[in-house]
Amino acid sequence: MDVPTATPSIRAMADLATPMAIRVAATLSLVERAGSAGATVERLAAETGTSAPALHRLLDHLVTIGVFDRDRQSGRYRPTIVGAQLGADAPEGVKPLLDINCAGGRADLAFVDLLGTIVTGAPAYPHRYGRDFWADLDASPELRRSFDAQMNWRFRVQASQIAEGFDWTRFPSIVDVGGGDGFVLAAILHAHPELRGRVLDLAPTTTAAADRFAAAGLDDRAGTVTGSFFDPLPAGADAYLLSDILHDWDDDHARTILTGCRRAAAPHGTVVVIEPIRGQGAGTDMDLFMLMCFGGRERTVDELTTLAAGCGLRLDRSGPVSDERTALEFRVAPHD
C-alpha cells in the first residue's frame, strides 16, 4: 500500500523570515562572536551595535530553526552543528555567500526586484543599487575582494579537477581571460610545470594574482595583464581560457568576448570555454540568478556552440572537466 506523500506547503517555500535571519546572523558574525562557549544577548548586542530586544527575537528564531541553541540556565546562545557552517573558518565556506556586505550576499538581495526583471527582461541589480554589478565592484575594493574570494570558493575543489582532467599539455602558453586573482591558472601551472600562463583581468585583481603567483613560486612562469576582455587581448597564446565567464553576460556581450578571443587566437590558437552547463552543473535557480543579477544566462552545449559559431569558432570537442563544469574546445573556423 502506497503511503500518501504530503503536499509541500507553498507558504513554507515562500518564507523570507528564515533565509533573512540566517543572512543577518552571517552578516553580524554571530557564530564567531558566540563561539563554542556561547554568549548572552546583551553581550552580542553590545559587540554588534544592535538592539538587544530585536536581537533576542532574531536569536530565538535561529533556535527554532536549529541554527543556535539556548542554555536556559545561563541564557547563553551558542551555534549548533548546522549554525557552525556560518563561521568564517567553516570548511563549507558559505559565509561570503550569505553576508549581505559581501558581493554574493548583496547580489542575492536584488531578488526582491525579480518582478521587474520578469516584466522587462532587464537585470534587477542596477534597479536596486543604482549601478550594475561590475560597476559596484569597481566602486568598492571590499566588494571586489569578497567577489574574488567567492570565485575561489566556487573553484576550491574543482580547480585541481580542471587542472588534471583536461589535456593542458597541448598548450604551452595560456591566457586566462577574466581569470580573477589566478586561482585556476595557478592550479593548472602547478599540475603542468612545462606550461606558462598569464591572467587578464582588471586592477586591483591582477595585483592579487601577481601576489598569488609570487607566493606559490610561479612568478617565473605566470604573469598578469591588466585590462578588460572587451578590449583587444594579447595575441599569440596557444590557448585562451574563459572559465565561468560567458554565463555572466547576455548573448551580445558573450559574442563580443568570444570574438575578441578568436581574433587573439587566430590563426592556430584554441579557445577553451569552461562553464556549468544548464542541466549539468547549472540548475534553474542559478539560471534565474544570472538573469536577475547580470542579465546573463546558463547555456547548453548546443547554445554555446551556436554562439561561438557566429564568432568564427568551431567546436572541436567537449566533455566534463570537473564535478560541475564542462570544457568546450573551440578552434578558429577554417574560413578565418
**Residues linked to residue 211 through DSSP beta bridges, in sequence order:** none
Q: Do 34 and 40 form a contact (C-beta atoms < 8 A)?
A: no
User: Cell numbers of 75, please?
Assistant: 541564557
Residues labelled as active-site residues: 247
Q: Do 191 and 197 form a contact (C-beta atoms < 8 A)?
A: no
Q: Do 256 and 307 form a contact (C-beta atoms < 8 A)?
A: no
51: how many CB neighbours lie within 10 A of its CB?
11
Cβ-count burial of 221 within 10 angstroms (0-12 exposed, 13-18 middle, 19+ buried)? middle
Cα–Cα distance, 26 to 94 (Å, whole number): 9
Residues 6+ apart with CB under 8 A from 40: 74, 75, 76, 77
Cβ-count burial of 144 within 10 angstroms (0-12 exposed, 13-18 middle, 19+ buried)? buried
Burial 248-283 (b: 16+ CB within 10 A, else e): bbbeebbbebbebbbbbbeeebbbbbbbbbbeebbe
285-288 long-range Cβ contacts below 8 angstroms, 24+ apart: 288/114
